[in-house]
Amino acid sequence: MLSVLIPVYNFDVRPLVEDLSTQAQRSGKAVEIICLDDGSKAEFKNQNRSLSQLPGVSYEELPHNTGRSIIRNLLAKKASYDHLLFIDCDSQTESTSYIWNYINALKKDAVIYGGRSYAPDAPQDHAYFLRWEYGRQREVLSPEKRKQHPYRSFMTNNFVVPKSLFLSIGMDESLKGYGHEDTLFAQELRERKIEVLHIDNPLRHIGLETNKVFLEQTANGVRNLHRLIQRNKVLPDNRLFSMYKKLRGTIFGTIFYSWFRRNKQKIESNLCGLTPSLRKFDLYKLGLLLEMDRSS
């Protein structure tokens, strides 16, 4: 029936997995939960090793960190059932019928995305404010909104895919670190004309990154996007890519990049401050992408 696959990295996943195990048992269906640790610190491994005692749960550890794509490919190969549910480890369910909602929606030849949510109140520590604000404003979309751009709205934090389909595509292991593995996977789905269904079954993102870490991840994500552009593997309705195409090789692009270089540190200060501007964040990513052209 369903294999729940959780790549674990430096996070206490016990509350999440205990909840999922209870839901799986209550469903009465064949559900397994596989947790694979990707080279976490010892303190997290020591916490999470007790998971193997839960019904229907297996827990294993890799000797070193392999990365977001490789570990997902490994998890898929370990799965016993025909449908795979990939879950980010820094998540929390919002519904006691989360597992059942996916079981009810399973289709043989479609990918299902359940969505993402964030806490309604801002974090008390402003060091986490940018990630919360970006997620709340840009990633929290109703199924109706997501259906308008089904491939662009797809993310890998919370989705079900037929095992045979996933193994035929896989996560591209050439993409290193954080960012845009979902873009490439969605592009492959689009090229194969695989339907992406959007349902209301979100996971709450509770493992917010600090402003500094999120900016580092953003830079790595832009680097990965630049690689995909070079390989002609970017969805045409990707907003950042669309703006980049309009500016690249034009006088306006030169003027913008000159402005970006002069103001980069000021923008970073705003993004790490008390009132980060998402408009400036968009310009920041665009500047980084144009910067990649000049350094490649």
Instruction: Check residue 179 and give its pLDDT.
Output: 65
pTM value?
0.92
Would you state the pLDDT for residue 170?
87
Helix, strand, or coil (residue 286): helix
* 183-191 long-range Cβ contacts below 8 angstroms, 24+ apart: 183/225, 183/228, 183/234, 183/235, 183/238, 184/228, 184/233, 185/154, 185/156, 186/151, 186/152, 186/154, 186/235, 187/151, 187/228, 187/233, 187/234, 187/235, 189/111, 189/151, 189/154, 190/151, 190/235
The boundaries of every CATH 3.90.550.10 domain in the chain are: 2-123+140-207
Phi, psi of 198 (to 5 degrees): -115, 120
| Mean pLDDT lowest among 7-21, 80-94, 168-182 | 168-182
Q: Could you report the per-residue pLDDT of 114-126, keeping only the tens digit for each?
A: 999 999 999 999 9
Q: How confident is the model at residue 209 (pLDDT cuts 50, 70, 90)?
A: very high
pLDDT value at position 177?
A: 59
- The predicted pLDDT at position 294 comes to 79
How far apart are alpha carbons 283 and 62 in whole angstroms?
38
Distance CA 49, CA 133 (A): 33
Q: Tell me the pairing of strands 2-8 and 31-38.
A: parallel
Helix intervals (H) in the chain: 14-27, 42-48, 68-78, 98-105, 129-134, 143-148, 163-169, 181-191, 211-230, 239-247, 251-271, 278-295
pLDDT of residue 231: 82
Please report the pLDDT score of residue 181 as a whole number: 77
Reported CATH class of domain 2-123+140-207: alpha beta
pLDDT band of 178, cuts 50, 70, 90 = low
CB count, 10 Å around CB of 259?
Answer: 12
Burial 147-175 (b: 16+ CB within 10 A, else e): eebbbbbbbbbbbbbbbebbeebebbeeb
Q: What is the pLDDT of residue 173?
A: 75
Say if residue 27's pLDDT is above 80: yes
CA dist 29 and 203 (Å) reads: 21
Q: What is the pLDDT of residues 99-111, one digit of tens each?
A: 999 999 999 999 9
| Res. 296: pLDDT tops 70 | no
Mean pLDDT of the chain: 93
pLDDT beyond 80 at 237: no
List C-alpha distances in Å: 172 to 78, 133, 180, 189. Answer: 18, 29, 10, 13
pLDDT, position 176: 63
Q: And the tokens for 278? A: 């998402």
